[in-house]
Structure 1
Amino acid sequence: MRWALATLIVFSVAPNPAAAKEPTPGLSQSIAADQPLATGRAMLAAGHVDIGPRYVDDRWALLIHDGTQAKPVWRDPDETLLRVSDAALQTVPDDPAYAFLGVDAGKRVYVVPQTQNQDVVWLGWNTQDPRVMQTIDRGVTLTLLGVQGPGTLTTYLQSGNFAAPQPLWRSADPAAQPFWAEVNTHTHANWVFTEPGVYLIAVQVSADLISGEKASATGTLRFAVGDATSTDEALAATADLPTAHGQAPPDGDRTEPGASTDGANSQLLVVLSGAAILLAAGLVFLLLRGHGARRRAEQERRPSPSGDQP
């Protein structure tokens, strides 16, 4: 028996390891440029939520788009708790197609589903902020950097009940895991948590801009999985996770994701300065040594004071 998943997602391979594009009318949405950035802590336990890039004070950022209320807002991931209730519990099917989950058939796991369950937070991603759409070249890369939690996380797409699942992120794999999302994309996927508890998930969003520059930012998604998991504990949890390369610099000073120009240039200057000093010292030593050798040779060739030849 398979999990019931309606045919909602159509995905295609793009220049990155995996690609996802969502054209389905049922998930069509547009995002106004003036949607506010909310402040303060918030817990989202049901309703429509996306992660995605947006500019904040001219800085590229990874934020949470909160569509759980009448007027959508953007939120800081550090101040937002995504609660996955026991209503998300499902049984892993006895089907080799789901072996990538790394979980025995029959085990109960928590599933944030690709198809909306009104009792469970509905998490996806979008690249639909108006300024983002105006400035990125073709799309963005979303990369899983690391997961901290009591169990494992797997995120995958499935196009209908009988299509093969397409894994995107697996916390059991320690390597960074990127996938591609085209501009003006809105997609939802399955998020499978194997154990209840607090999960912190480090994610990077990066893109090539039309200007030829590059943008990159990271954020940590915060989950409280299971009804018994403490909200306070989840909000207070700190992550010992890769932060990739941090926030990108402001417009006009963007760098290749992962390249910190200030730090790299400083280190390069130190290395070059040290090399120059060593080279100069070596030249001085060689000159002095050569001069001393010439003086000794001249002294040996001079007649001794007594007139005897050497």
Structure 2
Amino acid sequence: MKRLLITSLASAVGVAAVLAATGPAASAADREVVLTQGHIDLFDVTYDPAAGRLRLAVGDDTGAQKVFRDPSTVTIAVDEDLAATAVPDLPAYSFLGAPGDTVYLLPFSQNPDLPWPGWSTERLMGSLPAGTEVSTAADAVRLSVAVEGPGQVHAYQSNAFGSPINHYVDTRDAGPDTIPISRNAHVHTEWSFSALGEYTFTVTPTATTATGGTLSGDAATYHVRVGDPVVAPGLGLDVAANRPNAEYLYGQGITLTATPDAATDLDHYHWFIKGAGQTEYVVSNRSGTRELKLPTSTVWDGAQVVAKLYGHDHEVVAESEPITLAVDTLEPTTVLTAQADRAAYQIGQTAVLTSAQSPQTADDHYHWYVRKPGEEFYTWIDGTRAADATLPITADLQGAEVVVRLFDGDHAVLAESAPIVLTVGPAAAAATTTTVRLTRTSQRYGAAPGRADVAVSTASGAGAGRVSVSAGGRDLGTHALDGRGRASVALPARLAPGAHQVVARFVPADASAQAASSSAPARVTVAKARARVALRLAKPRVQAPARGRAVVRVAGVGTPTGKVRVLVDGKRVGTAALRNGRVVVRLPRLRAGRHDVRVRFAGDRHHAAAASAVRKLRVARR
């Protein structure tokens, strides 16, 4: 087989490419997804941030919603009769073959009955990482394409006069060509295949960035089949159902088993299902083995199922005849109702489910089923075989539907309840316990303070978050807990004298995981600070009738305030207010002799009362 390397090109205004190969038909076989008609971005170029490389995908626009598929899972199937076209007797089209020769054409303008493949870089810019841009040059993106197949493949466009243009690659000379693809391009061309058979394209993307760098991508393989698929002869495949004639009653499990008619070591299967009224088979994701199990549903009534056995190169080596399923229902024998024990649940709780028959029958074979949002079929709740059941509540059950079914001895449904729709909220936050322990239950104003040791715990471990601490209503700030759920907070040295309650309040880091809590108050008693009263006589000796003067200074924590009383020989002779902790008091006229002078400080809100030492004053006669 001759293998040619071609570089496929595109521009913002549209281009054509020629992909050609010669030799016998390739052995490639249909892949999981077969596209027979509709719009297809065959070469969709994006950037994969996780891999750090360009990536190719197939933009499948043939269904209700666009799907981007791995190229290795897709076959483009071209119908022989719809695509057959005679080569025109025009010199400009001689590259297609002799006039009148048959080629298989996918036109530039969409034919709704045929595939309409093109290529696109429209998603590329939006997929690039921040700070990276593809060049605005016409050759910013390039696709290197290697083609294997039984004939020549051309992709081109025609101008307004019907002549081919943008025929950038002509494989007859086997020379490599380069066709540029600009960014944000979306291109369609005419595709022409000169022979029936299987074609394989190996495509590798590259791009130039705005700074001159290069982005590369891994090669992707594409499969195009022109005409009917070729199945290797010599191996047959039978499909048997677990019920006679594949006839089922609603509730009975459907199991299909594929069996080759000769011994083989091959064991790679795919199953294809065409629903009643549908025109296309769809690959099932429920099995890759010889056995296919389908969930209970009347949707299978009239469905056709085909099994295919694949070889080591993923080619089809055997294909079964379609088997048609029939699913019927029994008339209900009772009305079955289901109830949940709560209207709403939190994650981590368990739902208690009960059911009742009306009228009551002798049948007692039950199963419970759940269908989560987005799921098509109900799934059996493991272990449920009675009229009542339990279901652990998880986050994915929000909006889920639960039903109970009553079965006969042949596992056909006799009655089915209306669904219970579950309402699920976040799990309840774990309860926490906050405690405060004081290192000292009493302290003196201004002296070294004690500490409040805080601990927060749950039933299963330590609290995580912060605690705010207050003493006597005074905010002592917010403090982070350590890994053991503990914090140690110093009480203020100048906490006001008196009795105070120390309280800690826990603020969780995640309120959905742990609940807030407050401690019981711890009591601390603060005594007043000790004051020091100093007395000095301005003159220790005066001559009558002169009066002496007492110089008083009171020291403590900060500047004491309040009043002092002056005593002479034990009797109060005057009172004066402190100013900046000092005061000078003029003594009364005293009789001649010696006198004891003393000062008493009455105390203030922070200081206890105190007295000075006795000073001697001598009063001499005149």
Q: TM-score range by the shorter chain?
A: 0.5 to 0.7
- The alpha-carbon distance between structure 1 residues 119 and 228, as it changes in their structure 2 partners (threshold 3 A), is same
Partner of residue 106, structure 2? 112
Amino acid at match of 1:220: T
CA distance in 1 between counterparts of 2:314 and 2:169 reads 25
The alignment status of 1:135 with 2:126, answered yes or no, reads: no
* Alpha-carbon distance, 1:203 to partner: 2.3
Counterpart in the other structure of 2:400: none
Please report how far the alpha carbon of residue 80 of structure 1 lies from its aligned counterpart in structure 2 after TM superposition: 0.9
Cα separation, partners in 2 of 1:46 and 1:112, compared to 1, 3 Å: same
Give the 3 Å change call, closer, same or farther, for CA 99–20 of structure 1 in structure 2. farther
- CA distance in structure 1 between the partners assigned to 2:173 and 2:216 by the alignment: 22
Give 1:221's aligned residue: 222
Q: Relative to structure 1, is the Cα distance of residues 203 and 177 closer, same or farther in structure 2, using a 3 angstrom cutoff? A: farther
Contact 1:146 1:176 survives alignment (8 Å): no
Q: How far did residue 18 of structure 1 move? A: 6.5
Tell me how far 1:142 sits from its aligned partner: 3.3
State how far apart, in whole Å, the 2-side matches of 1:123 and 1:17 are.
14
Distance in 2 separating the partners of 1:99 and 1:166: 15
Task: Please state which structure has a larger fraction of its residues in helix.
Answer: 1
Label 1:174 to 1:204 Cα distance change in 2 as closer, same or farther (>3 A): farther
| Residue equivalent to 2:72 | 78
Residue 44 of structure 2 is matched in structure 1 by 52
**Distance of 2:64 and 2:156 partners within structure 1:** 29
Q: What letter matches 1:65 in structure 2?
A: G
Per-residue CA distance 1:102-144 (angstroms, 9 max, x = gap): x111011111111101111001111100425773112543345
Deviation at 1:204, TM superposition (A): 2.6
| Count, aligned residues | 204
- More RCO (CA 8 Å, sep 6+): 1
Say which SS state the counterpart of residue 146 (structure 1) adopts. Answer: strand
Q: TM-score, normalised by structure 2?
A: 0.30
The whole-number CA distance in structure 2 between the counterparts of 1:204 and 1:176 is 14
| AA partner of residue 128 (structure 1) | E
Unaligned runs of 5+ in 1: 1-15, 24-39, 238-310
| Sequence identity (%) | 28
The one-letter code of the counterpart of 1:55 is: Y
Report the Cα offset of residue 77 of structure 1.
Answer: 1.2
Q: Report the CA distance shift for 1:208/1:142 in structure 2 as closer, same or farther (over 3 A).
A: closer
For residues 197 and 95 of structure 1, do their structure 2 counterparts lie closer, same or farther at Cα, with a shift above 3 Å needed?
Answer: same
Q: Contact (CA 8 Å) 1:45, 1:120: kept in 2 or not?
A: yes
Quickly say closer, same or farther: Cα 1:172–1:75, change in 2 above 3 A: farther
Change (3 A) 1:214 1:116: same
Give the secondary-structure state (helix, strand or coil) at the position aligned to 2:205. strand
Q: What is the identity, as a one-letter code, of the residue corresponding to 1:236?
A: H
State which structure, 1 or 2, has the greater radius of gyration over its C-alpha atoms.
2
- Is 1:43 equivalent to 2:34 in the alignment? yes
Higher strand share: 2
Residue 179 of structure 1: how far off its partner (Å): 0.8
What pairs up with 1:131-210 in 2 under 5 angstroms?
131-132=126-127, 135-138=133-136, 140-210=140-210
Of the structure 1 ranges 157-166 and 89-98, higher mean CA displacement relative to structure 2 is found in 157-166
What is the SS of the residue equivalent to 2:135? coil
Partner Cα separation in structure 2 for residue 211 and residue 74 of structure 1: 29
* Bigger shift: residues 224-233 or 112-121: 224-233
**Residue 89 of structure 2 corresponds to which residue in structure 1?**
94
Q: Is the 8 A contact 1:153 1:170 kept in 2?
A: no
Taking the aligned partners of 2:175 and 2:91, their CA distance within structure 1 comes to: 24
Q: Distance in 2 between matches of 1:170 and 1:146?
A: 13
Amino acid at match of 1:198: E
CA drift of 1:55 comes to 2.2
Distance 1:152 1:214 in 2: 31
1:13 alignment partner in structure 2: none
Q: Deviations over 1:257-282 (max 9, x none)?
A: xxxxxxxxxxxxxxxxxxxxxxxxxx
Residue deviations 1:64-99, cap 9 Å, x none? 111111211211111111111121111110100012
Alpha-carbon separation, structure 1, partners of 2:9 and 2:150? 27
| Distance change (3 Å), C-alpha of 1:59 and 1:20 | closer
AA partner of residue 100 (structure 2)? G
Amino acid corresponding to residue 20 of structure 1 in structure 2: S
Over 3 Å counting, the alpha-carbon distance change for 1:153 and 1:73 in structure 2 is: same
Letter in 1 for 2:209: L
CA 1:144–1:100 in structure 2 vs 1: closer, same or farther (change >3 Å)? Answer: farther
Q: Which 5+ residue runs of structure 2 have no aligned equivalent?
A: 1-6, 15-30, 232-307, 316-622
Equivalent residue, structure 1, for 2:314: 236
Change (3 A) 1:74 1:17: closer
Amino acid aligned to 1:64: V
- 1:62 maps to which of 32, 51, 56: 56
> Contact 1:153–1:193 (CA<8 Å) still a contact in 2?
yes
For the residues of structure 1 that align with 2:314 and 2:168, how far apart are their CA atoms?
Answer: 28
Asked if the contact 1:113/1:191 (under 8 Å) is kept, the reply is: yes
Q: Are the aligned partners of 1:144 and 1:177 in contact in 2 as well (CA < 8 Å)?
A: no
Residue 29 of structure 1 corresponds to: none
How many angstroms apart in 2 are the aligned matches of 1:193 and 1:229?
A: 17
Residue matched to 1:3: none
Distance 1:94 1:169, change over 3 A: same
